[in-house]
Amino acid sequence: MQRRQFLQTTLATSSLAFTTDLSLAQAVDEKPFIVNSGIGGENTADLLKRIDKDCLAHKPDMTILMIGTNDMNSRKYIPFPEYEKNLRKIIEKILGAKSQIMLMTILPVHEPYVYTRHPQTFYGTDGHRKRKEEVNAGIKKAADDYKLHFLDMHRVFEKVGNVGEESSSLIQNALNSEKTDGVHPTPDGYRVMAVAIYEALICTNASYKRLVCFGDSITNGGGGLEGKSYPAYLKRLLEY
């Protein structure tokens, strides 16, 4: 009940994690649209391979970008220097196509679940958390260097997500989804993402009438724009 009240009031009206100009978006005389270009299991190298077809071909004026969760795991691992290089290539390609970018940090995870799929030794003595902190610091630095719109979604989830094994967690677990997942958001988690992104968008002076959500399975969220992904909830909020 406490979280539901929070989502209905505070989150929709307060600035949790983004830095941007506080003015209304410019109107554009065209039918607005939103595209869900998330594909599960992908890392930065994968996004670079399909960026022309799945992002730039839509001629977005705003691209929402979250990538890095798979880059740091044992199956799709990309060392941090290469990850950072790939991320900046993605950013430069999108900016080169005249799209602004809202860059998001990756989400917190429930480590005990993650270690059932990826050996704890793979993450070294500092564990998954240290590697994630490095990735998110690299994301923030890229946002600063390129002067991008930035949304610290990791902080949002840490503040309201109760990430763990309780049924109220915004990350999937055995109680709330019958999955020992620990990485992907629940439907409530995706709603939190959508509300935070919506708030950031309406408070920026940039256009977002042609909107592409680009990333991995956390963007995909089951695919499409009619389900329980953050792009689907965002579409409803924007009334696109």
Distance of alpha carbon 239 from its chain centroid, rounded? 20
pLDDT value at position 6? 47
Question: What number of CA atoms fall less than 13 Å from residue 59's CA on the CB side?
Answer: 2
Tell how strand 100-104 and strand 62-66 pair up.
parallel
Contact 21, 50 (CB under 8 A): no
pLDDT value at position 162? 87
Q: Summarize pLDDT for 198-223 with one digit per residue, the tens.
A: 999 999 989 999 999 999 999 999 88
Q: Summarize pLDDT for 25-65 with one digit per residue, the tens.
A: 444 468 999 999 999 999 999 999 999 999 999 999 999 99
- Domains of the chain and any CATH numbers: 16-134+179-238 (3.40.50)
Phi, psi dihedral angles at 139 (to 5 degrees):
-65, -45
- The string over 140-174, giving b where at least 16 C-beta atoms fall within 10 Å of a residue's C-beta and e elsewhere, is eebbeeeebbbbbbbbbbeebbebbbeeebbbbbe
